[in-house]
Amino acid sequence: MLCTLIHLAQLTICWIYPISQTVHAFETRNYSLFWISYWFVFGVLNYLESTFLFWLAPFCVYQILRSLFCLWMLHPDYKGAEFIEETLFPVAYEQLKGIVSMTPLGKYLEEA
């Protein structure tokens, strides 16, 4: 039962809140690289989990650690997603900026 509650909290922290904030950012045209950074790092994390770390998923402690990691990535004071992207993925970061600048979203990012 406790593991189920932890999993629901992790689902809310890592998926539901970021999706709602991303949709809100698009609706208000308040575009920033923060949410792009979050989804990029979160996608890499999910890829690594599904490929190499799949055996960790059933453990409650792992779900707690994953939730705390997502909170760190989302927290406005720490902005862990941007930190990870800029320090661990510098080449990917430059490519991402180049790709985003070619999309309609790039026009709004240049204005900000």
How confident is the model over 18-55, as pLDDT tens digits? 999 999 988 988 777 888 889 989 998 999 889 998 88
Type and span of the H or E element at 23: helix 17-27
For the chain, the average pLDDT equals 84
Neighbours of 58 (CB within 10 A): 9
Task: With beta carbons less than 8 A apart as the criterion, state whether 10 and 73 touch.
Answer: no
Task: With beta carbons less than 8 A apart as the criterion, state whether 60 and 2 touch.
Answer: yes
The Cα 72–Cα 100 span in angstroms is: 25
Residue 81 has pLDDT above 70, yes or no: yes
Residue type, 14: C
The residue with greater pLDDT, 41 or 92, is 41
pTM above 0.75, yes or no: no
Task: Quote the pLDDT of residue 109.
Answer: 61
As a residue count, the chain comes to 112
